[in-house]
Structure 1
């Protein structure tokens, strides 16, 4: 059985370490490959990622589901910012 990385011709493990944000309009965001939740209010959710901090701002934000690999946020999403961490 071939690995999915071989079938899709992806560059391997590095692809799966990057944080991915999938937006559905302004109402839902699914973030894959985050490290942890560092802050959570109805107006701001802050996630730590391999790349740095991911900030989601809006109104009536709520975390509806999360696992070790992904988190689903719903509400009125008004902005998403990635603040890169220090480069070594």
Structure 2
């Protein structure tokens, strides 16, 4: 019975984070060379009635090391470089 409860706790752990009201957290994923930082800065410069948090990543899945400190993600944006056929 204890093993079953531990399995269930592992499945539900990502759902334990409570969303913050009036806050949107966005993850922007893109390889080196994509304008992730410029895109994030332009989003942060827009006027909105809510707080915007933006995280940047080069690839998915995200490392498990900081999973307990990472906020719940509301949106994931993938930036692709369409000029390079090798990527």
Identify the structure with bigger relative contact order (alpha carbons < 8 Å, sequence gap 6+): 2
Whichever structure has more helix as a proportion of its residues is 2
TM-score band, normalised by shorter chain: under 0.3
Flag the structure with larger Rg.
Answer: 2
Q: TM-score if structure 2 supplies the norm length?
A: 0.25
TM-score by length of 1: 0.25
Bigger proportion of residues as strand = 1
